[in-house]
Amino acid sequence: MSKKNKKKYVPGTERPGRPVIGVVALDDRNDRYSTYPSNRLNPKKLAAIFREADEGDVFRQMELFEEMEGKDTHLFSQLQTRKLAVTGLDWEVQEFSPEPADKQIKDWVEEQLKALDGFTDNMMDLLDAIGKGISFLEIEWGTRNGQTVIESMDYVHQKKFFWDENDELRIRTDEFPGGIPLPENKFVIHKYKARSGHPSKAGVLRVCAWMYLFKNYDIKDWVSFCEVYGMPLRLGTYSATASKEEKDALRQALVDMGSDAAGIIPDGTDIKFIESNKQSSVDIYEKLARLFFEIHDPTQVGRQGPDIGDQYRSEIFYTTPAQRETAEKLIAELRAKGYDVVTEVTQATTFWPAEEYHQDYYDRKGTQPYCHGYTKRF
């Protein structure tokens, strides 16, 4: 039975000494979607997100941390290493004291945890606090043969929680968007302290966020550099009688050509392509092309390793005549060395990103490349 079909928790219905029956953190469509705070992230926006978190509202910070894990493969792999180091250990429940009552509680807790389906997953969910500073599991209580039992423990996204003006931890629900106090004995909470201070500041990702921001700037600048120096300068000219609308259309056409390599312009205007005198664009393209020919097999037709099909063909793309000449020159070099190169040389058109499950494949799977191993050919 899904959470949304289970009985809801109603505040004020608790009975002293009895477990809280009913689901507090119901499945919410908003939990599956994000506001994507890393879009257009800059120092001012990041500081605002942290300021909100310091005041108790960690919604955007938790979404940002989730994006950081999803986009930065190095961060993700480092966090996974820490989590797996814990889940790979044997575990046991220890009694609080030698008293018989505590021994009985210990045995009951151990029995309940061993009976859970997916307790290892529960531990991974709790270890999410390493990056985010805090993590939550909601306990689903039930009865079996007249005994209270734990039916399940379910991960609850940190963005549903916040601290109020009295620093009391609260949770937002559909019925109470302003938040309610956490019911007693209803949540397992893991607080991780990578640094001293409030849990909103204690996660590893809080420390890494600034470097993540600067790293994103570096990547963006590198892409811009490659685009500027990998293509000719695009110079638009217009007549003295051109209207503002014609000038704006020409300017937009120049911008579009930066990524689409095509555009339309008003009659009476002109676009000239001026090749840069710098050798940087050719050098960059040649270095990338050489690496391309050395991390795959350019002699295989319609396949790479065990992957067979036209989509796995060897193909290199160019945006300028100089890049085409470079690609053909490298192919000629390889053929002169005895390689039967079948790589197609094609003018670049629209770039279509691959499906999400193809992205960062080896980082996510933790396996060694089987068709992209490096082979020195030049």
- DSSP secondary structure string for all residues of 321-332: HHHHHHHHHHHH
Strand partners, 194: none
pLDDT at 150: 92
pLDDT at residue 362, rounded to an integer: 62
pLDDT in tens, 182-238: 998 899 999 998 888 888 999 999 999 998 988 877 666 666 656 555 556 566 777
Contact 136, 189 (CB under 8 A): yes
Cβ(325)–Cβ(296) below 8 Å = no
Query: Average model confidence (pLDDT) for the chain?
Result: 83
Question: Is the pTM of the predicted complex or chain greater than 0.75?
Answer: no
Encode pLDDT of 268-285 as tens digits.
666 665 555 555 556 788
Within 10 Å of residue 337's Cβ, how many Cβ atoms?
Answer: 10
**Does pLDDT of 139 surpass 70?**
yes
| Contacts of 80-88 spanning 24+ positions with Cβ under 8 A | 80/366, 82/127, 82/130, 83/124, 83/127, 83/130, 86/123, 86/127, 87/120, 87/123, 87/124, 87/127
Query: Where do the structural domains in the chain lie, given as residue ranges?
Result: 3-211, 233-274, 280-365
Beta-bridge partners for 163: 169
CATH superfamily of 280-365: Peptide methionine sulphoxide reductase MsrA (3.30.1060.10)
Structure-block tokens of residue 99: 């008293």
Using CA atoms, how far apart are residues 318 and 324, in angstroms rounded to an integer?
A: 6
Helices within the chain (DSSP H only) = 29-32, 43-54, 59-71, 73-87, 100-115, 119-126, 129-132, 204-230, 244-256, 280-294, 321-336, 361-365
Average pLDDT over residues 359-367: 65
**pLDDT at position 101 over 80:** yes
Look at residue 329 and tell me whether its pLDDT is greater than 90: yes
Q: Minimal CA–CA distance to 65: which of 192, 218, 220?
A: 192
pLDDT at 161: 95
pLDDT of residue 147: 86
Q: What is the mean pLDDT of residues 316-344?
A: 94
Tokens encoding 46: 């990041």
Which three-class secondary structure state does DSSP give residue 35?
A: coil
Lowest mean pLDDT among 94-103, 150-159, 168-177: 168-177
Distance CA 242, CA 227 (A): 29
The percent of residues above 70 in pLDDT, for the chain, comes to 80
